[in-house]
Amino acid sequence: MHRERISDDVYVFTSGMYAQVTASAIVTSAGAVVIDTLPFPGETRQVIEFIERRAPVKYVIYTHYHADHTYGGYLFRNAQFIAHALCRDLLINRGEAGLKLARAQNPSLAEVQLRLPDLIFTGEMSLRLGGKTFVLTHSPGHTPDGIIVYIREDKILFAADTVMPVPYIVDGDAPTMLRSLQVLKSMALENVVQGHGEIILRGEINETINSSINYLNKMQTAVVNSITANQSRDDMLREYDIESCGKTRIALNGLVQQLHAANLIATYDRLSTDKSKLAALKPRSAAAAPAQSVGKSKSAKAEKKPVKSANKPAKPKKSLSKAAGE
Ligand SMILES: [Zn+2]
């Protein structure tokens, strides 16, 4: 496990055991708030030990119901758990069956119990603790129950799996994810903590979000082209690799290639059974690809955006990708 401090009393823990999944802690004078847990008990215990030397954990926020973010929950004995209402439903309806399977396949999960949220919300909620304001907002697309958590005073966004090295929409869908990514572009952000992988610094945030939007558009276009050309799924996978959709294959130690292939297949299956969705994407995907911004008539408001501190020296790559350390 790798630990990084991104602001006074804000820590991010990255799993060395599973897909660089992250858990975070915000330590305040009135107790700590934890955002997500790590899937393997050994790593979550290390997280708890570290935080509790500083403050008791008052709240644990689940960003969505997936196992890699929630399996450590049962180890937090005295915290209140917060999540979107759908997260609770999905943990009950899918989580138990998934856990049974996971326990059978992986002995180190034998002791894991599902810990359900106590406080649930829809839309948005705010939490105040020790002088910090946490704004929790529904952000579906990766899953139906996804949320993001914004700390107003620090301008740090815990984007969970709304921001990943490659957007992953198998349990959600690309159009919803695109809408959730657009929301992020209007936010004032110093750091974005992804659900998996490295922390994104201010100078890289816009580019990263745009690159995810670009990827999803290209991925959908690839699927539309593939279905229109009567390609099989295998032909599609051969033709449209991850680079052809604008992302590199090396992130998350190569796992992103599997995520990309799964995105293609899920989108292919959805669009081949829903001709109206396919038709809706067709004209747009044909026209939207290269020359998007040129068509805009010289609108005054597009020009007046201040260019944000452009020329920071290039930062060395952070060490999070070497998370396997501990
Ligand atoms: Zn995840």
pTM: 0.86
Cα of 76 vs centre of ligand 1, distance in Å, is: 20
The confidence band for 161, taking pLDDT boundaries of 50, 70 and 90, is very high
Cα of 257 vs centre of ligand 1, distance in Å, is: 15
Cβ 198 vs Cβ 161: under 8 Å? no
Give yes or no for residue 320 having a pLDDT over 80: no
The confidence band for 191, taking pLDDT boundaries of 50, 70 and 90, is very high
Cα of 29 vs centre of ligand 1, distance in Å, is: 30
Cα of 63 vs centre of ligand 1, distance in Å, is: 9
Q: Which pLDDT score is estimated for 173?
A: 95
Cβ 261 vs Cβ 241: under 8 Å? no
Beta strands in the chain (DSSP E): 2-7, 10-14, 22-28, 31-35, 57-61, 80-84, 119-121, 124-129, 132-138, 147-151, 156-160, 191-194, 200-201
Cα of 221 vs centre of ligand 1, distance in Å, is: 25
Task: From 225, 222, 208, select the one nearest 166 (Cα to Cα).
Answer: 208
Q: What is the chain's Cα-based Rg? A: 20
- Supply the DSSP symbol for 56: -
Sign of CA dihedral 156, 160, 164, 168: negative
Cβ 226 vs Cβ 240: under 8 Å? yes
Give yes or no for residue 19 having a pLDDT over 90: yes
| Rounded-to-integer distance, Cα 134 and Cα 127, Å | 5
The confidence band for 85, taking pLDDT boundaries of 50, 70 and 90, is very high
Fold type of domain 2-212: Metallo-beta-lactamase; Chain A (3.60.15)
Cα of 167 vs centre of ligand 1, distance in Å, is: 10
| 74 three-class SS | helix
Cα of 195 vs centre of ligand 1, distance in Å, is: 6
Residue intervals in the chain for CATH 3.60.15.10: 2-212
Q: How do residues 233-258 score in pLDDT, each as one tens digit?
A: 999 999 999 999 999 999 999 999 99
